[in-house]
């Protein structure tokens, strides 16, 4: 996607652009805790959105786990929308803030809608936080699912590639 002029609305999200990799840990009251490896890629196409593609695998076996794809839609007033789809049958629409910091950027979004396919597990609410500090990206995820209130499910600490 290089060679394209960045749309000005994407400017606060520049610190996210590129590929990130690293380890993550997951937990939830209803399941066994687990470890995973994550690859996260952010790109742009000259339009007012930033595309995000994520894939994960189990740390030891390398077996693929969760994946997702979506778009950040920065609004130009310090807020952003995020639309996301997941092969587990879950679709999230979130809104929240983009905070530019000395070392990077912090994006904190909460769901305004979560839709689950008829056969998917029940998720009612989500929150996501992406914090870039230089070449480190920390991701945290909370969800209200399986009858539980909003509870932490994931944290990962990724390093910029290349």
* Range in contact with ligand HEM (rule: CB under 6 A) among 14-22, 27-35, 43-51, 98-106: 27-35
CB-based burial of residue 70 (10 Å sphere; 0-12 exposed, 13-18 middle, 19+ buried)? buried
| Helix or strand holding residue 129 (H, E) | strand 123-133
35 binds ligand HEM (CB under 6 A): no
User: Judged by CB under 6 A, which of 22, 104, 109, 126 binds ligand HEM?
Assistant: 126
User: Judged by CB under 6 A, which of 6, 28, 51, 138 binds ligand HEM?
Assistant: 28
How many contiguous H segments (helices) and E segments (strands) does the chain have? 0, 10
* Range in contact with ligand HEM (rule: CB under 6 A) among 73-81, 97-105, 129-137, 145-153: 145-153
**In 3-state terms, what secondary structure has residue 14?**
helix
Residue with smaller CB distance to ligand HEM, 92 or 109: 92
The rounded distance, in Å, linking the Cα atoms of 82 and 4 is: 22
Window 75 to 104, contacts with ligand HEM (CB under 6 A): 90, 92
**In 3-state terms, what secondary structure has residue 13?**
helix
User: Judged by CB under 6 A, which of 4, 117, 121, 149 binds ligand HEM?
Assistant: 121
Q: Is residue 18 within 8 Å of residue 160, measured between CB atoms?
A: yes
How many CB atoms neighbour CB 161 within 10 A? 13
User: Judged by CB under 6 A, which of 12, 15, 22, 26 binds ligand HEM?
Assistant: 26
- Give min distance, CB of 91 to ligand HEM, in A: 9
Give one word for 146, left, alpha or beta, with left for phi > 0 and alpha for psi -120 to 50.
Answer: left
- Interacting residues toward ligand HEM by CB under 6 A: 24, 26, 28, 30-31, 34, 36, 38, 56, 65-66, 90, 92, 121, 123, 126, 141, 143, 145-146, 153-154
């Amino acid at each position: 996607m290089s060679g394209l002029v960045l749309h000005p609305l994407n400017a606060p999200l520049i610190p996210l652009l590129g590929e990130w990799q690293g380890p993550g840990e997951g937990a939830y009251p209803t399941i066994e805790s687990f470890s995973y490896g994550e690859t996260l890629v952010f790109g742009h196409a000259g339009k007012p959105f930033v595309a995000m593609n994520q894939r994960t695998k189990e740390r030891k076996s390398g077996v693929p786990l969760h994946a997702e794809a979506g778009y950040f839609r920065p609004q130009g007033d310090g807020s952003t929308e995020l639309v996301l789809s997941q092969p587990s049958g879950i679709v999230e629409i979130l809104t929240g803030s983009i905070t530019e910091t000395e070392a990077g950027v912090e994006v904190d979004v909460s769901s305004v809608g979560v839709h689950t396919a008829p056969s998917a597990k029940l998720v009612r609410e989500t929150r996501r936080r992406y914090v870039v500090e230089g070449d480190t990206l920390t991701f945290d995820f909370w969800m209200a699912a399986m009858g539980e209130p909003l509870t932490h499910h994931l944290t990962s600490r990724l390093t910029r590639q290349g």
